[in-house]
A and B are shown apart, each in its own frame.
Chain A
Amino acid sequence: MASSSSNLISLKTSDGTVFKVERALAKTMKTVQAIIEEADANIYMIPIHNVFSHHMDMIIDYYKLSVAGKSKEFSVEKLDNDELKDFLLAVHYLNMEDLFEVLTQAVADRLEKKSVGYVRKYFGIENDFTPEEYAAIRKKNDWAFKGDDIEPEEDEEKQEE
């Protein structure tokens, strides 16, 4: 049984796995920290919605690297774009500042190479411009720097340098 004076906090992910993590790691999760501080009695187990066990694995990896001063070595390269988006949502829910910054930067780095059509799909955004407005905006941005060539738009990855 976990008591509040113990060094380990139990976190239960959406898929039912229980992780026992150090208090210091739990402290980096502001959402969890808020739960602990507001509880009147000792907490036995804290459920974390929207967070799966594979997310917790990566969070623990990141924590171990940062404690060792090697946070730069943390990489999300092996995640595809959708997995990265899910991970970002999980970390956002847990309100973990540093890791959140790392992940938003990773998403930004991937997005800058993508076409407009892809970005729209990725975020689930509807194009609410009228065709005339849309054409006017494309024209406004394209002429200055791309001469007569306008880059292809739909669902294509832009040529990488």
Chain B
Amino acid sequence: MKMIKVDDENEGRLNTDIIFDILSRVPAKPLLDMKCISRGWHNIISNRSFIKAQLQNTQLDLNGFIVQDRYMISKRDIKTVSYIPVDSKNAAKLVHHTVFAFLPEDVVVLASCKGIVCCRSCLPSPNPTIYLCNPSNREWIQFNWSPPCDITESIALAFDFEPSKFKLVRLKRIELNNYEDEDEDEDDFFFTFELYCSETKAWRKSTEMCNCKDDLIKNRGIYIGGFLHWLTEGDQILTFDVENEMSLLIPVPVPLENEFRTVAACIGEYEGRLHYVQVSEQGLHVWCLEDLYEFKWILKDCKLLENFEAEYPRFFFNLKNRVLESEDTTNPWMNPLGFKDGKLLIKVAAELYIYDMKKDKMVHACSFLQLKPQSMSHPTVFPLSLTLVSLKDA
């Protein structure tokens, strides 16, 4: 009978293979802490094949929201970037402004995808640069931002976990005079797409154009399942199939009740699908896009404004009236700013809250003053997860 070798030295201790297996099932945030346990562990956690296994075995958890303001009309950027952690206990104490201090200059954040953040130099700049970075490990790569550099343009990041594979999509809005029509004042607006590919390391104009009468709002593209989505001022969501370079406009969901006026809205990803969050006199509605090409939306959650008031009287005194009376459409009283994984960052008056849809729980995140804004009305919000992915593998 064959003898079985018993590993006596390691009896009671777990060998490296077992440790590798266990750690590959731990989410990124605690793993970052565990890097300091020993040199061996530091090497395991930084190892490329470990990172690949960990990505397959775990899900990305929302860690917090990046918030950055911008002037409505200006040629200068606001340099301050704030970070609101989602950890419910300490959010207000931990709002801080140094997330991107490791980059060589102040930046404007453009997009956030699976833990990787795309940002650009603040304008005016002598050498406009685009950065792709991972705040978890402070690594970044950079390349030139080809002119003309428009302070309002939207650049979105399409990042999949194939190492080194990403695309940037630069959106520009152009106006074409339509002289064929009898009414010569008719101008058509189009969105054009320019792509940067990590494989070719070059920008290239796409032949695709999208005819859309509305401009973007909450200027950021969200990448889900191969598609980029941008919210527009009107009732459509601009969508771009990155691989096939085709665009379409998805109509936003509208409930069947009469007299429905959307006061404010935002889009975000949850469970691998696009979600649309809207505030109206009917309250807060969260919709899920079940079928992209069929434009099929399903209502996932809804809560009346009266219920928010009743459950959180300290936060939301007289909420419904304030929401309806608010006349400034560019700065609504209740404004959903960012949504991911069932958590919504929402601004009400001058305070920010995080609403957890799954637990039906609202917590106060911070006051707007803690974000050190210079204008107060147009924050762009990017949800951020933590990832171990190394951009240097590119």
Contacts and interface: CB of A to CB of B under 8 A. Distances in A.
Interface in B21-39: 21-23, 25-27, 29-30, 32-39
Contact of A35 (B1, B34, B37, B42): B1
Interface string A146-159: 11110000000001
Given A49-B4, A104-B22, A116 B96 contact: no
Q: Summarize A's interface: helix, strand, loop or mixed.
A: helix
Interface in B3-31: 4, 6, 11-14, 18-19, 21-23, 25-27, 29-30
B1 to A, nearest CB: 6
A50 B14 contact: no
B4 A35 contact: yes
Contacts of B102: 144
Which of B37, B42, B85, B88 is most buried by chain A, counting CB atoms within 10 A of its CB?
Answer: B37
Q: Summarize B's interface: helix, strand, loop or mixed.
A: loop
- A contact residues, range: 35 or more
B192 interface: no
A38 interface: yes
A89 B14 contact: yes
A141 B36 contact: yes
A111 B22 contact: yes
B93 A149 contact: yes
Interface string A48-68: 011000000000000000000
Contacts of A111: 22, 26, 30
B89 A159 contact: yes
A37 B36 CA distance: 45
Nearest to B386: A145
A119 interface: yes
A85 B2 CA distance: 28
A135 B12 CA distance: 30
- B contact residues, range: 35 or more
Contacts of A143: 98, 101
Contacts of A92: 18
Contact of B37 (A112, A116, A144): A116
A144 B38 contact: no
B135 interface: yes
B14 to A, nearest CB: 6
A45 to B, nearest CB: 11
B98 A141 contact: no
B41 interface: yes
Interface string B76-109: 0000000101011110011110110110000000
Contacts of B338: none
Contacts of A80: none
A1 to B, nearest CB: 16
Contacts of B89: 159, 161
Which of B34, B36, B39 is most buried by chain A, counting CB atoms within 10 A of its CB?
Answer: B36
By Cβ-Cβ distance, the 8 closest A-B pairs, closest first, are A108-B25, A147-B96, A112-B30, A147-B94, A137-B36, A104-B21, A104-B22, A108-B26
14 contacts: A38-B1, A49-B6, A108-B22, A109-B25, A111-B22, A111-B26, A120-B37, A123-B14, A134-B36, A137-B42, A141-B33, A145-B63, A145-B64, A161-B88
